[in-house]
Amino acid sequence: MKHAMITLLLILPALLFSQAPSAQEIIERVDKNTLSDSKIVVSKMIIHGRRGERTVEAKSWQRSIDHSFTEYLAPAREKGTKMLKLGDQLWTYSPATDRIILISGHMLRQSVLGSDLSYEDMMEDPFLQNMYEAKIIGPDTVANRPVWILELKAKKKGIAYDTRKIWVDQERFIILKENLYAKSGTLLKQITLGEMMQVEGRWVPKTALYKDVLKEGTGTEMIVDSITFNENIPDYIFSKASLRK
């Protein structure tokens, strides 16, 4: 009897792991949490830089994966700065110079307003299944919650991060932690999600910490103040004319 119990304890984790959904099913569920026809997000970006801390407030309108428009609301230095994404093109507008600039090439790797996020991050397709092949590495625990660890390998050329390692909440199918790697295997960025909230039946992060490991400072904290899904957003929002309005 004793030997039977020991054997059961040894094989139980393997049995439970074998009952896990496939890697493809997991990333499809993760994407489903993100997927919407449109969304409007009001957020704060707290940048913990080498020279101190500052908070940037913004409002973003997004439709599908190809259209997004962001207006920075505060502080005064950034107020009125705007960013427009249409397909694979990205423009920024600065009221200080009254110039619209197309961000392309090496410029995409530059930091957004001194944060740990790059313009390249803004251009990434948010749906993992479009960009990566996935495999389950094993189970783990993050913030006292059981997770699956998945390794994602890019299946397209030109993707900013060749490999990702993600820790997915087994119940809510949301990423709790993420490591982003270059093709060489060098760790470039780490993302740690904090507080979660449920909006219209889906789990979304309320707070997240982005850390560019190649930069000084303790990272950039993102805080979502409000988010609404499937809003009717007028077409004029996603136009270059809106950058100067």
| Confidence at residue 15, expressed as pLDDT on a 0 to 100 scale | 45
Q: Which among 220, 169, 217, 170 has a CA at the least distance from the CA of 191?
A: 220
pLDDT above 70 (res 2): no
pLDDT above 70 (res 69): yes
pLDDT above 60 (res 18): no
| Average pLDDT of the residues in 106-119 | 94
Band the pLDDT of 7: cuts 50, 70, 90: very low
pLDDT above 50 (res 130): yes
In percent, the amount of the chain with pLDDT more than 90 equals: 78
In percent, the amount of the chain with pLDDT more than 70 equals: 92
pLDDT above 70 (res 11): no
Q: Which among 205, 197, 200, 203 has a CA at the least distance from the CA of 223?
A: 205
The CA distance from 199 to 172, in Å, is: 13
pLDDT above 80 (res 6): no
| Average pLDDT of the residues in 218-245 | 95
| Confidence at residue 16, expressed as pLDDT on a 0 to 100 scale | 46
Looking at per-residue confidence, does 142 or 124 come out higher? 142
Band the pLDDT of 1: cuts 50, 70, 90: low
| Average pLDDT of the residues in 100-113 | 94
pLDDT above 80 (res 19): no
Q: Which CATH architecture has domain 21-243?
A: Clam (2.50)
Q: For residue range 160-199, what is the model confidence (pLDDT) as tens digits?
A: 999 999 999 999 999 999 999 999 999 999 999 999 999 9
pLDDT above 70 (res 137): yes
pTM to 2 decimals?
Answer: 0.87
| Confidence at residue 3, expressed as pLDDT on a 0 to 100 scale | 54
Contacts of 69 (CB under 8 A, 6+ apart): 60, 61, 62, 82, 83, 84, 85, 237, 238, 242
Band the pLDDT of 230: cuts 50, 70, 90: very high
Contacts of 236 (CB under 8 A, 6+ apart): 242
The CA distance from 68 to 85, in Å, is: 5
| Average pLDDT of the residues in 52-65 | 94
**Mean pLDDT across the chain:** 91
Q: Which tokens in the block code for residue 3?
A: 């030997």
Task: Parse the chain into domains and list their residue ranges.
Answer: 21-243
Band the pLDDT of 157: cuts 50, 70, 90: confident
| Average pLDDT of the residues in 93-111 | 94
